[in-house]
């Protein structure tokens, strides 16, 4: 292999990753001693069955082989494999270049179209970076920093009148307030510590009454019992100044919501099918807590969350659904982003996109992040790099278009339905009160003046036992054994630099472990690589790698490094932020850190060390040697860090955080402010449905905007003027504009019915079947009604029809099938954009619309700007796909409503997939929910927070209908929103043999398998035959008694 340096370097890079030995697939050909031919190997293994994990196995065997001839043969085989890797990498680079070029064209086209829709020309100010929230390097953020206790006190006095309720969500990992098991696994890392400390800090801030950190309840024998406790209070670090703010339910709490496997701790990649279950459980908790807080400090009215803050993609997805269900603002912190990880994995060339998706559920994660961008008011980032290089990879965020939209908003100019979340850089905070760094020589700080005989912390002895000379400065690395943390390069840099080895020791704190075999394959392979390098460079007595440490030991570890005049290093390939760098600086440790990511921003503020290229081990060793050898430089970096560290305090972080939240436009369920106090039903002090009392029943016309199908609904009224007055009154009142006028109308128009019948049912049957034809739907509906005829007669069961049809089409459907509208309590129409109830007064028409539902889901609805873009899209499809000027896609005006733009499709196969249309709209900053329905012959575009499942959650929020008492009947397939109807606390009955003929084509639109969205093994999901098993299915779900 002489002269093949590129082979050697590539081989070393692969082996540094440390592929797992136990998962390797043995190569039969490698074991055929004396009969091996490289050409046969290349054809059979490299081309037809390449498996890179076998490469590491081959290397181990080659090293252990005594025969030079056999060793050379094995190494030759590996060269073939490496050649194939290089070939794959080149192919990937070509595909990547094509993909990036396509994406750039899509972005530019979307930007041009968005600009063209905005009639006013952009000013010069819009072309530049006007955003003071999205600060650039070298500029100061708009909000001043807290530089003294006096300024903090002034700000605190301004907030004392507020009683904020905040909800944080972090789903994966093991979360508790004390003795966090950081490094236990890849899911229990820096994010866990961050969210706990954020919740604790916010709970101690003035103006904040309560903070709930929602996570998963884990009752498994594999983890500590504390993770199964429903609630845990986070004790404030220092709450003396705000003790007067405390109340009965105030403070910060970890609230654990049960979802997913009850007795099993599972990794985050397997949580996706259970997100809906968490959403329903969290919604129930938030509703209860809002009412409790309302009784305590809200004057009897619920205190809705001021914001719901999702951390990571899974929690962001859940927060988006909760934000829509409760109509409250959402915040997102990505922590680590799916698109960025996908890019990195593809560049490595070891896994195909399909394999990456199967392992990491990466496409489901990316879609969760895109939905979070659609819904978020604000996205919190730690660094500018996260915005410029990571978030801009998403369809839903374009920095250039975001600046233009923000400029128009500041000038009070219409954005034509376009919205972009605010990207705000707020570095994570830290608690510094317990840290007292020494100003003098650290070697003189062995004792304590008050307690001269105080013992050293036990962790010191655990680390020092590794060192033959414990007086040397200690280079400290604190990271879990993960390839991206680049620990092996650090060990190489230390091992190959003799002056550095002579001057310093190296301490590697790599999480906790009992045995290497019990670790994950990735972690164990990294640790094995480290141990081999220690042996290779003979670093015994110079490198420490303790097996265990507690979270409470971490400050003592920093103190030990500072006492020895050591250095903290973070050599990660990319570090999103680098909280450990701040912790180390607070203890007086200079830093050496990667130049990729957050450390750049930290170094700009602290100026307490050196930045290095993580791929250049010589650069790493030189930086470490410079700080260890130059005592003046070490002292200067230490002093700079201690002087500037206050800029990363938790009060600073929380002050900026809360200032942003209080600037949001208030959002909460509208009936809270409109109901007043006049409510005669004691069981519900604030949920009188005044908009659907009989005043609304006098609106004897369809609200779906159609004209051709409404004749069957419209009835004669005494005068058109009277109808117009009633409509205007209800519309104004529903928006909270004319409560006085509505009160007078109530006296003349309402009858005794005050609450909808759906509220009084023991359980609710939701029929959400998506058939090809009306006849099949009617037959299935009749069979389901007949299955519970007894309960129908008793009034204990209610029915909801959930469909993509308009209310006019539903009326025609019921009439043609001989069904009575009063057989149903509610109708979810237009794929979830409209909600109607059955009228209690037959003289006034069959249906009444819930106007509050419109106000609930209209957030970020694009209106006319969206409509124009959709028409333009339909025209482009017709031009590209049609023959003989045939209109493939046309706007169906008679089916469209104010909150649903419907398009008729003549050739579904010629229409781009739903994900392509969704991508197009996101690129143009239009936020909506696209549903392909009725066998692909109809496209409904509705508000982003509207859907058929969200309508059911609205019924829970509005009327308190228990989600666990709902059973949804679906087929084996359906419209493209089908996946949302399965999963959650409600029950589901999947009717076998019921599906639409185009289901495969419709659901091929999804970029991830259905199993990444729903868990078909859930106890809440049963299968049944429509012709015989419906009632048995309801008994199995314990909704009917035997």
d(Cα 55, Cα 39) in Å, to the nearest integer? 17
Chain mean pLDDT for the chain: 80
What is the tens place of the pLDDT at every residue in 439-456?
Answer: 544 445 444 444 444 678
DSSP string, 932-990: EETTTTEEEEEETT--HHHHHHHHHHHH---GGGEEEEEESS-STTGGGGSSSSSEEEE
| Pairing relationship of beta strands 307-311 and 847-849 according to DSSP bridges | unpaired
Any idea what DSSP says for residue 752?
S
The pLDDT of 539-558, averaged and rounded, is 92
Measured between alpha carbons, how far is 714 from 271 in angstroms, rounded to an integer?
48
Sequence-distant (≥ 6) Cβ neighbours of residue 357 within 8 angstroms: 363, 1008
Quote the CA–CA distance of 173 and 227 in Å, as a whole number.
10
Give dist(CA 867, CA 1034) in Å, integer. Answer: 42
pLDDT digits (tens, 9 = 90+) for 269-308: 999 999 999 999 999 999 999 999 999 998 889 999 999 9
**Sign of the dihedral through C-alpha 393, 395, 401, 407:** negative
User: Is the C-alpha dihedral spanning 87, 91, 94, 99 positive or negative?
Assistant: negative
The answer for residues whose C-beta is within 8 angstroms of residue 269's C-beta and 6 or more apart is 359, 360, 361
Of the candidates 867, 975, 974, the residue with the CA atom closest to the CA atom of residue 921: 867
**What is the distance between the terminal CA atoms of the chain, rounded to a whole angstrom?**
77
| Residues contacting residue 463 through CB under 8 Å, at least 6 positions apart | 474, 507, 544, 546, 557, 560
More confident site: 649 or 170:
170
DSSP 571: -
Q: Which of 369-378, 800-809, 1005-1014 has the lowest mean pLDDT?
A: 1005-1014
pLDDT(73) > 80: no
Q: Starting from the edge strand earliest in sequence, which strands make up the sheet with 307-311, in order?
A: 231-234, 251-257, 208-216, 164-169, 307-311, 330-333, 378-381, 422-425
Residues in Cβ contact with 231 at an 8 Å cutoff, skipping those fewer than 6 apart: 253, 254, 255, 256
Geometric angle at alpha carbon 213, from 338 and 660, rounded to 5°: 75
Interhelix angle 275-297/948-959, rounded to 10 degrees, is 30
Instruction: Using pLDDT thresholds of 50, 70 and 90, give the confidence band for residue 901.
Output: very high
Q: Is 828 exposed, middle or buried (0-12, 13-18, 19+ CB in 10 A)?
A: buried
Instruction: Give the whole-angstrom CA distance, residue 527 versus residue 434.
Output: 33
Could you report the per-residue pLDDT of 91-131, keeping only the tens digit for each? 777 777 787 788 788 888 887 888 777 754 444 444 443 33
Percent of the chain clearing pLDDT 90 (strictly above):
46
Question: How far, in Å, CA of 1041 to CA of 794, rounded?
Answer: 14
Angle at 184 between CA 179 and CA 189, to 5 degrees: 80
| pLDDT, tens digit, 9 for 90 and up, residues 495-507 | 999 999 999 999 9
Q: What are phi and psi of 241, to 5 degrees?
A: -70, -20
Residue 265, pLDDT > 80, answer yes
Residues present in the chain in total: 1042
Q: Which of 368, 422, 434 is nearest to 587 (CA)?
A: 434
User: 578, 511, 501: which is closest to 534 by C-alpha?
Assistant: 501
Q: What integer pLDDT is reported at residue 1029 of this predicted model?
A: 82
Residue 649: strand pairing partners: 430
Whether the Cβ atoms of residue 426 and residue 194 lie closer than 8 Å to each other? no
- Give the residue with greater pLDDT, 839 vs 321: 321
Q: Which residues contact 806 (CB under 8 A, 6 or more apart)?
A: 702, 704, 706, 709, 829, 830, 834, 895, 897, 902
For the entire predicted model, the pTM comes to 0.77
1008 membership: H or E segment, kind and range: none
Sign of dihedral through CA atoms 715, 720, 722, 724? positive
Phi, psi of 391 (to 5 degrees): -65, -25
Element (H, E) at 483: none
């Amino acid at each position: 292999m002489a002269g093949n340096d590129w082979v050697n370097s590539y081989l070393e890079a692969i082996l540094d990753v440390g592929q797992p030995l136990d998962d390797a697939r043995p190569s039969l050909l490698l074991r055929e001693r004396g009969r091996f031919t490289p050409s046969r190997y290349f054809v059979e293994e490299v081309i037809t069955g390449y498996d890179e994990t076998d490469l590491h196995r081959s290397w181990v065997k080659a090293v252990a082989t005594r025969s030079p001839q056999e060793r050379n043969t094995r190494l030759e085989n590996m060269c073939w494999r490496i050649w194939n890797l290089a070939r794959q990498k080149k192919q990937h680079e070509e595909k990547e270049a094509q993909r990036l070029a396509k994406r750039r064209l899509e972005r530019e086209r979307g930007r041009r179209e968005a600009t063209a829709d905005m009639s006013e020309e952009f000013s010069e100010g819009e072309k530049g970076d006007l955003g003071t929230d999205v600060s650039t390097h070298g500029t100061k953020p708009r909000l001043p920093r807290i530089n003294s206790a006096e300024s903090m006190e002034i700000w605190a006095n301004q907030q004392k009148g507020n009683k904020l309720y905040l909800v944080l969500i972090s789903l994966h990992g093991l979360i508790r307030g004390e003795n966090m098991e950081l490094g236990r696994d890849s899911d229990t890392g820096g994010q866990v510590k961050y969210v706990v400390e954020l919740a604790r800090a916010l709970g101690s801030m003035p103006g904040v009454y309560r903070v709930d950190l929602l996570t998963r309840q884990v009752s498994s024998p594999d983890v500590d019992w504390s993770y199964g406790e429903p609630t845990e209070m986070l004790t404030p670090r220092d709450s003396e100044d705000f003790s007067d703010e405390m109340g009965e339910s105030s403070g910060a709490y970890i609230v654990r919501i049960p979802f997913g496997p009850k007795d099993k701790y599972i990794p985050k990649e397997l949580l996706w099918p259970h997100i809906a279950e968490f959403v329903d459980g969290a919604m129930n908790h938030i509703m209860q807590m809002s009412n409790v807080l309302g009784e305590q400090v809200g004057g009897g009215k619920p205190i809705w969350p001021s914001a719901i803050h999702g951390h990571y993609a899974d929690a962001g997805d859940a927060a988006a659904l909760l934000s829509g269900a409760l109509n409250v603002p959402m915040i997102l912190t990505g922590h680590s982003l799916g698109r960025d990880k996908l890019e990195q994995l593809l560049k490595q060339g070891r896994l195909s996109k399909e394999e990456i998706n199967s392992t990491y559920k990466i496409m489901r994660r990316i879609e969760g992040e895109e939905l979070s961008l659609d819904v978020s008011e604000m996205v919190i980032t730690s660094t500018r790099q996260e915005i410029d290089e990571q978030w801009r990879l998403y369809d839903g965020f374009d920095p250039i278009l975001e600046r233009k939209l923000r400029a128009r908003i500041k000038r009070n100019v219409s954005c034509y339905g376009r919205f972009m979340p605010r990207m705000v850089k707020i570095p994570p905070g830290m608690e510094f009160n317990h840290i007292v760094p020494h100003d003098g020589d650290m070697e003189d700080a062995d004792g304590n003046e008050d307690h001269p005989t105080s013992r050293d912390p036990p962790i010191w002895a655990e680390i020092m036992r590794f060192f033959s000379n414990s007086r040397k400065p200690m280079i400290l690395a604190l990271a879990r054994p993960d390839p991206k943390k680049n620990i092996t390069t650090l060990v190489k840099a230390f091992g190959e630099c003799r002056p550095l080895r002579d001057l310093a020791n190296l301490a590697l704190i790599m999480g906790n472990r009992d045995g290497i075999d019990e670790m994950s394959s990735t972690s164990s392979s990294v640790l094995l690589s480290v141990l081999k390098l220690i042996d290779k460079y003979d670093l015994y007595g110079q490198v420490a790698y303790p097996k265990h440490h507690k979270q409470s030991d971490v400050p003592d570890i920093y103190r030990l490094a500072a006492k020895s005049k050591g250095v903290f290093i973070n050599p990660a390939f990319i570090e999103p932020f680098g909280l450990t760098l701040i912790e180390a600086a607070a203890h007086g440790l200079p830093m050496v850190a990667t130049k990729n990511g957050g450390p750049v921003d930290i170094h700009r503020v602290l100026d307490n060390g050196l930045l290095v290229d993580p791929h250049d081990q010589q650069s790493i060793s030189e930086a470490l040697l410079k700080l260890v050898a130059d005592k003046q430089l070490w002292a200067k970096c230490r002093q700079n860090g201690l002087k500037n560290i206050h800029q990363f305090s938790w009060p600073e972080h929380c002050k900026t955080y809360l200032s942003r939240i209080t600037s949001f436009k208030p959002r909460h369920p509208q009936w809270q402010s409109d109901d007043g106090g006049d409510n005669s039903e004691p069981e519900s002090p604030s949920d009188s449905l005044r908009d659907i009392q009989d005043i609304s029943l006098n609106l004897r016309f369809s609200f779906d905007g159609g004209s051709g199908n409404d004749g069957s609904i419209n009835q004669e009224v005494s005068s058109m003027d009277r109808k117009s007055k009633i409509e205007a009154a209800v519309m104004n009142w529903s928006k909270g504009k004319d409560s006085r006028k509505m009160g007078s109308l109530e006296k003349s128009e309402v009858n005794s019915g005050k609450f909808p019948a759906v509220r009084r049912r023991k359980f609710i049957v939701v029929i959400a079947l998506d058939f090809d034809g009306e006849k099949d739907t009617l037959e299935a509906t009749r069979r389901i009604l007949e299955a519970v005829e007894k309960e129908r007669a008793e009034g204990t069961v209610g029915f909801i029809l959930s469909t993509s049809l308009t209310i006019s089409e539903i009326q025609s459907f019921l009439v043609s099938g001989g069904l009575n509208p009063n057989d149903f309590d509610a109708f979810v129409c237009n794929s979830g954009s409209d909600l109607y109830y059955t009228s209690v007064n037959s003289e006034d028409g069959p249906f009444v619309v819930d106007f509050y539902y419109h106000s609930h889901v209209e957030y970020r609805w694009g209106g006319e700007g969206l409509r124009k873009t959709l028409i333009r899209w339909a025209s482009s499809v017709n031009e590209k796909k049609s023959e003989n000027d045939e209109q493939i896609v046309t706007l169906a005006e008679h089916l469209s409503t104010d909150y649903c733009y419907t398009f008729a499709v003549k050739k579904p196969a010629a229409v781009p997939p739903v994900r392509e249309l969704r991508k197009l709209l996101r690129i143009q900053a239009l936020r909506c929910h696209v549903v392909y329905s009725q066998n692909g012959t109809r496209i409904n575009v509705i508000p982003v927070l509207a859907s058929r499942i969200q309508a059911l959650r609205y019924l829970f929020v509005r009327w308190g209908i228990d989600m666990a008492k709902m059973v949804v009947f679906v087929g084996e397939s359906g419209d493209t929103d089908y996946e949302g109807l399965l999963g959650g606390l409600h029950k589901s009955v999947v009717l076998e043999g019921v599906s639409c003929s185009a289901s495969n084509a419709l659901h091929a639109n999804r970029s991830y398998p259905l199993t990444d969205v729903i868990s078909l093994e859930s106890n809440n999901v049963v299968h049944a035959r429509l012709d015989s098993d419906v009632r048995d299915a309801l008994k199995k779900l314990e909704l009917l008694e035997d």
